[in-house]
Amino acid sequence: MRALITGGCGFIGSHLAEALLARGDQVTVVDDLSTGRFENIQSLVDHPSFQFAIETIANETVMDRLVSECDIIYHLAAAVGVELIVHDPVRVIETNIKGCETILRIGARYRKKVMLASTSEVYGKSDKVPFAEDDDRVLGPTTRSRWSYACSKAMDEFLAFAYAKQLALPLVVMRFFNTVGPRQTGRYGMVVPRFVQQALRDEPLTVYGDGQQSRCFTYVGDVIKAVISLTDEPRATGRVFNIGSTEEVTIEELARRIICLAGSRSEIVNIPYDQAYEEGFEDMRRRVPDIRAIQALVGWQPETDLDGTLRQVITHVSSEMAL
Ligand code: UDP
């Protein structure tokens, strides 16, 4: 297979590139390095089946050629991270909607299979536990920029299903739930790399709100296995799947575990949301995936538990800090 990965220099994209090369695929990565990092693909550049283009997916001429030359597009390029969403909402909305529209339109032009990376954010602040793919979504007002990310990704999903319906685009949508692992950066707000860095420096771990909000952190290697199983499975085409661990942890407990696993002397400090993000910021209390759909179709389930994942992140961040 000839795979095109948009956002391939990002955290998840670079792990996907590695896994596809390892199984013998040809891989082309396109990334504008806005949040991705070239170092993430540095070890792949000499691989005979690997190519990259440092380019924005908004460049239609380049994208037309790259799409025409591949068999499948993994569309991972997007503006991510709660901090970016709060501080640069124009960029988030435009990148997510316009970029995805370009990929879908060109994908449909050549009738190439598209895997669309979406997010558990689309469920919004619904208090249902767990979230199943067909559940209703509950979003806050348009005056709170946090919800623009959920809306932009939901719009991408709507558009993808519209292309599938009207232009027979072969499509599979995957909603990732808090994917973590080596190479994820804390720069855009993601909690695990942030806490790990704070712990390794013996600085206070900044728990936002009361710390009783919970998440299910999923090891990136497990996510990549899910992505590959679903794109290989013809019966997944035209559907949407949750991909996530079901091991739920509160953010306060996460902070405690990281301090313990890192052998850190850090303390925990609570910071109000208004101070951490912006006035009136709304968070999700719980976010747990229902993974019966993916389990039933391809038998996937997460293999790495939270402690195993955190140990890998601690090792990775400490080796980066030593450089
Ligand atoms: N969070 C925190 N301290 C930080 C960064 C994040 O307590 O330094 C919290 C954040 O408010 C949220 C959770 O950790 O409740 C997960 O945040 P992240 O941005 O990683 O992902 P989200 O699930 O919000 O998309």
CA–CA dist 146, 306 (Å, integer): 26
Using most ligand atoms within 8 A of CB, pick from 84, 191, 216, 282 the residue to mutate for ligand 1: 191
Residue type for 290, please? D
| Structure confidence at residue 104 as a pLDDT band (50, 70, 90) | very high
Strand-pairing partners, residue 75, are: 6, 116
Place of tokens 């124009």: 90
When the candidates are 3.40.50.1000, 3.40.50.720, 3.40.50.1980, 3.30.110.70, the CATH number that belongs to 2-180+217-245 is: 3.40.50.720
The percentage of residues in the chain with a pLDDT greater than 70, rounded to a whole number, is: 100
The residue whose C-alpha atom lies closest to atom 11 belonging to ligand 1 is 208
DSSP string, 234-303: GGGTTEEEEE----EEEHHHHHHHHHHHTT----EEEE-HHHHS-TT----S---B--HHHHHHH-----
What local confidence, expressed as pLDDT, does residue 145 receive? 86
pLDDT tens-digit series, residues 292-310: 999 999 999 999 999 999 9
Residue 188 clears pLDDT 90, i.e. is over it: no
- Looking at residues 220-233, what average pLDDT do you find? 98
Q: Which atom of ligand 1 is nearest to the CA of 255?
A: 7
Answer yes or no: are the C-beta atoms of 42 and 66 closer than 8 Å. no
* Residue in 74, 149, 219, 277 annotated catalytic: 149
pTM listed for this prediction: 0.97
Q: In which band, very low, low, confident or very high, does the pLDDT at 105 lie, cut at 50, 70 and 90?
A: very high
- Mean pLDDT along residues 164-179: 98
Which pair of tokens denotes residue 25? 């695929």
Q: Is 149 a catalytic residue?
A: yes
Neighbours of 263 (CB within 10 A): 9
215 in ligand 1 pocket by Cβ < 6 Å?
A: yes
Asked whether 251 lines ligand 1 (CB < 6 A), one says yes
In 93-187, the DSSP E strands lie at 113-119, 171-176, 179-180
